[in-house]
Amino acid sequence: MTLIEKLKSGSSQWIKTQGAKYQYFYWQSGYAAFSVSPGSVQDVKKYIDFQKDHHKRISFQDEYLEFLKQNHMEYDERYIWD
């Protein structure tokens, strides 16, 4: 089992113990990992705090695709979304 599989499995099992609204929680089959420079940690925390409001203006999918394009990352959209 890979590190990511262990992380997804363990966190999925844990969240299901956090109440009925999480009983059907599951992770998508894929994943991505990105690093954050120490100088950007506060910006990332702020983004997370306001993420719900932010995604009322732009969908996660549109934002993610824009991020990939801006960073010249190759991708095949057939494998991004469940």
Domain co-membership, 51 together with 74 = yes
Query: Is the entire prediction scored with pTM above 0.85?
Result: no
| pLDDT tens over the chain, length 82 residues | 789 889 999 999 999 999 999 999 988 877 778 899 999 999 999 999 999 999 999 999 999 999 999 999 998 888 887 6
Domain that holds residue 45: 34-82
Domain co-membership, 23 together with 1 = yes
Exposure string of 10-41, with b = 16+ CB inside 10 Å and e = fewer, is: eeeeeeeeeeeeeeeeeeeeeeeeeeeeeeee
- CA pair distance 65, 68, nearest whole angstrom: 5
Q: What is the DSSP letter of 64?
A: H
Domain co-membership, 72 together with 50 = yes
Domain co-membership, 20 together with 48 = no
Domain co-membership, 15 together with 38 = no
Domain co-membership, 27 together with 38 = no
Domain count, the chain: 2
Domain co-membership, 51 together with 26 = no
